[in-house]
A and B are shown apart, each in its own frame.
Chain A
């Protein structure tokens, strides 16, 4: 519990910062001024610390340290992958994050199946049609349903047709084992604040064979690929964040989610409704449940649950206040506007307790039963 008297279940938007990470960053900010480009000892110390953090991150995700370009976040990294080269063709899945989707004027979209998995045959068909410098960008683990793509298979297809593959791994890092090498991707976007790391820093992992140029020009930091004074406290915060990653904890949370989902399904069926849990049959992130309550708009659900003391979300957070009508990824998966519009996302993380999801289920149940009653009353009247 926290000062809001509210349980936070919106980790896929952002996670509360881990106390150890906050301490480490505050310590770094208090320590001494550090610009890694300075020649004096303070500058050299800063550079050393940054090099160390870069190496830790590199070994964590299994890539050479030179591949890592620190950015201001996942959005910038995604923009860089798409805009850093004059690609002849850009191919995306239909469930990409806005920072991918809006970074290119006319991408080709590949549909996904009912579980949210990229349609490989369609991908092949598209790739067969085109020539030149091709970039395919696929969200490794989707932020809204958690669906995890068979990324190696996609990589092999893309490479077979001479294209390059970028993956948006912002939601994957720390939640599922992630090896850049094993994905066989050419670029990957990383983000740390979804697992308790700092906001305001991210990374793009780029193989040296990718002809990417800088998005931000200037002092030539990050080996000329991303200018701007390096955010040392945040980079040290990344190192601290990685220490906290624990898949046993993830497995535990996955169990809680599955238990809750079973209870939800049981309840719906008992009242004659068909449960719809997004990407239920697919390989999914362990910390997420996205479920529809047909007939009840997501805004209504979220506001009611907020009043009941639970912070959940309706689709992607990055719509900056504008209440978006329909989530593109959810629509892309279920192909049903009403369903997409009546779905909420419950996502958990390091500070979630088992009782939190049980308590949430009770609140959700109350809301559902209330809506059922209202429907009944309305029909009766």
Chain B
């Protein structure tokens, strides 16, 4: 990894994180001496595999203050989100058929909601405020006696903002509505407690917290009980909520990743915050007309999302090819559409095209941050020299006053 880092600086920690070497180490024994299908409960191999799985489950539960019985392993956060939404509606849908989510949710929540809408369920897509946060009054107004579930992501994958989870949870509990949160970007990044926050369902991802890919979990509250109907049927593993053979190695790695994150979160966040401030200050001091997307304070330490006015994001990425950053969510950046998230914040389409997401993480160094900031500043200056919009803006021409043809 260090070798490649010399060539390419990884600043895309919201897209995926490198596996922590300690996680890989924790997985190796499962490869080397544990074999057996953890569900084969009638011979010693199966038992040992199960032990690895259950230890992992406990570690996952611990980081969110849950009981291990409330953790359902899945193949990742996408599956967990699908299961949370479809699984609860499948169970309760004939009595309560309404879900409230918001316009800036991850694609897998929005896409799942779209499918549910086609099946006749009602979905409310709440707008967010300019800073990316949900307006609690609007949330309360949207609730009806048919509302089954509120699904709001804990930490945003593009703009890193932290939603007021405790307040949302309290409101949901008061109204008798389930609270699901997609916490793929939050677990290991901010302290979470499902009881204190009244969270009923929570999606977790392994590979966003320095764990392995191919595994995630759905937390499903037991008291008061939340019922979820399985979306993948078969052997009836995971207490009937999710069938499929579990990989002891993946469970062990995922668990280890949670344990490390839990132990090191406070210290790591301090380090990340220092790096972020260093980067942000450098950029803001050197470049005019750079705008931060999403709230600065209610934000995880490892994320910045910046719009560099009059410089197109993809063109900018090409100019900083030593930096692995993203211009919008990794899942959508193959398309040429500007980010729907930035649009939802009210960022103009012209500015939305100029944004970069910088994800700082466990293995980022001060040198990398300095190098990255200098490179971005250089590239932005060069591209602005080349940009007709920058020239017009300097000449005092309002770009919005021009009648653009579009294409």
Do A and B come into direct contact in the complex, CB within 8 Å? yes
| Residues on the B chain within 8 Å of A93, using CB | none
**B358 CB to nearest A CB, Å:** 12
Q: Which residue from chain B places its CB closest to the CB of A228 in the assembled complex?
A: B78
* Chain A, residue nearest B207 (CB): A229
- Chain A residues contacting B332 (CB-CB under 8 Å) are 219
| Any A CB within 8 A of the CB of B27 | yes
A208 to B325, CA, bound (A): 35
Return chain A residues, CB-CB under 8 Å to B246.
199-200
Tell me, yes or no, whether B315 is within 8 Å of chain A by CB.
no
For the complex, give the distance between the alpha carbons of A357 and B225 in Å.
48
Q: Does A220 contact B (CB under 8 A)?
A: yes
A-B contact pairs, 6 of them (CB 8 A): A6-B43, A30-B19, A200-B75, A218-B111, A229-B213, A234-B214
A98 contacts B108, C-beta separation under 8 Å: no
Q: Pick the interface stretch among A36-44, A129-137, A268-276, A361-369.
A: A36-44
For B324, list chain A residues within 8 Å (CB).
38, 40-43
Residues in B neighbouring A108, C-beta threshold 8 A: none
Contact A4 B48 (CB under 8 A): yes
Binds B, one of A156-164, A171-179, A316-324: A316-324
Q: Does B58 contact A (CB under 8 A)?
A: no
B16-66: which have CB < 8 Å to A?
16-19, 21, 23-24, 27-28, 31-33, 35-37, 39-46, 48
**Residues of A contacting B330 in the complex (Cβ-Cβ under 8 angstroms):** 35, 37-39, 43, 219
Q: Helix, strand, loop or mixed for chain B's interface?
A: loop
Residues of B within 8 A of A4 (CB): 44-45, 48
Size band of the interface chain A makes with B: 35 or more
Checking A26, A75, A217 against B245 with a beta-carbon cut-off of 8 angstroms, the contacting residue is A75
- Contact in complex: A217, B10 (CB < 8 Å): no
- A318–B118 alpha-carbon span in the complex (Å): 33
Q: Are B19 and A29 in contact (CB under 8 A)?
A: yes
The interface residues of chain A lying within 8 Å CB-to-CB of B170 are none
Binds B, one of A288-296, A298-306, A334-342: A298-306
Question: Considering residues B12, B78, B237, which has the most beta carbons from chain A within 10 angstroms of its beta carbon?
Answer: B78
A318 x B317 contact (CB < 8 A): no
Q: Does B36 lie within 8 Å of A320, measured CB to CB?
A: no
Are B15 and A306 in contact, CB atoms less than 8 angstroms apart? Answer: no
Q: In whole angstroms, what is the CA distance A342 to B115 when docked?
A: 46
Q: Is B243 in contact with chain A by the CB < 8 A criterion?
A: yes
Q: Any chain A CB within 8 A of the CB of B395?
A: no
Known: A14-B245, A26-B24, A317-B37. 7 other contacts (CB 8 A): A22-B31, A43-B324, A76-B244, A98-B233, A193-B247, A199-B247, A322-B236
> Contact: A42 with B1, CB < 8 Å?
no
Known: A30-B19, A199-B249, A217-B115. A14 touches B36 (CB 8 A): yes
**A201–B114 CA distance with the chains assembled, in angstroms:** 27
9-residue interface stretch from A52-60, A242-250, A307-315 = A307-315
Cβ of A206 within 8 Å of any chain B Cβ, yes or no, is no
* Consensus secondary structure, chain A interface: loop
Q: Which residues of B contact A229 (CB under 8 A)?
A: 16, 76, 78, 205, 207, 213
Q: Per a CB cutoff under 8 Å, which of B1, B17, B317, B326 touches A31?
A: B1
Interface residues of B in 224-274 (CB under 8 A from A): 231-238, 243-250
Residues from chain B with Cβ under 8 Å of A331 in the complex? none
* B contact residues, total (Cβ < 8 Å): 82
* A343-366, CB < 8 A from B: none
Q: Are A227 and B40 in contact (CB under 8 A)?
A: no
Residues of A within 8 A of B81 (CB): 218
A10-69 contacts to B, CB under 8 A, are 10, 13-17, 22, 25-26, 29-35, 37-43
Complexed CA–CA distance, A200 and B13 (Å): 23
Whether B326 lies near A217 (C-beta < 8 A) is: no
Report whether B36 and A38 are in contact in the complex, using a CB–CB cutoff of 8 Å. Answer: no
Cβ of A218 and Cβ of B78 under 8 Å apart? yes
Of A35, A38, A102, A311, the contact of B44 (CB 8 Å cutoff): A311
Given A39-B334, A220-B331, A228-B76, is A33 in contact with B106 using a C-beta cutoff of 8 Å? no
Please, which residues of chain A bring their CB within 8 A of the CB of B312?
none
Task: Annotate B71-83 by CB proximity to A: 1 below 8 A, 0 otherwise.
Answer: 0001111110110
Interface residues of B in 302-324 (CB under 8 A from A): 314, 317, 321, 323-324
* Measured CA separation A211–B330 after assembly (Å): 27
CA distance A322 to B235 in the complex (A): 10
How far in angstroms is the closest Cβ of chain A from B117?
12
Given A6-B44, A33-B12, A79-B234, A227 and B78 touching (CB < 8 A)? Answer: yes
At the interface, yes or no: A327 with Cβ under 8 Å from chain B? no
B361 to chain A: closest residue by CB:
A33
Determine how close the nearest CB of chain A comes to the CB of B383; give it in whole angstroms.
17
B169 close to A (CB within 8 Å): no
Residues of A within 8 Å of B75, CB to CB, are: 71-73, 76, 200, 228, 231
A273 to chain B, nearest CB (A): 24
In the complex the two chains form, what is the Cα distance from A312 to B37 in whole Å? 12
Cα of A316 to Cα of B232 in the assembled complex, Å: 18
| Max count, chain A CB within 10 A of own CB: residue among B214, B247, B323 | B214
Q: A26: which B residues are within 8 A, CB to CB?
A: 24, 27-28, 31
Kindly report which residue of chain B lies nearest to residue A75, judged by CB atoms.
Answer: B244
Known contacts: A72-B79, A98-B243, A218-B82. The answer to whether A313 contacts B235 by CB under 8 A is: no
With contact pairs A39-B327, A218-B112 given, residues A200 and B37 touching in the complex (Cβ less than 8 Å): no
B129 on the interface (CB 8 Å rule)? no
Task: Report B-chain residues with C-beta under 8 Å of the C-beta of A6.
Answer: 43-45
Residues of chain B within 8 A of A215, CB atoms compared:
82, 231-232
User: How far, in Å, is B371 (CB) from chain A's closest CB?
Assistant: 15
User: Whole-angstrom distance between the alpha carbons of A200 and B214 in the complex?
Assistant: 6
Which chain B residue shows the least CB distance to A37? B330
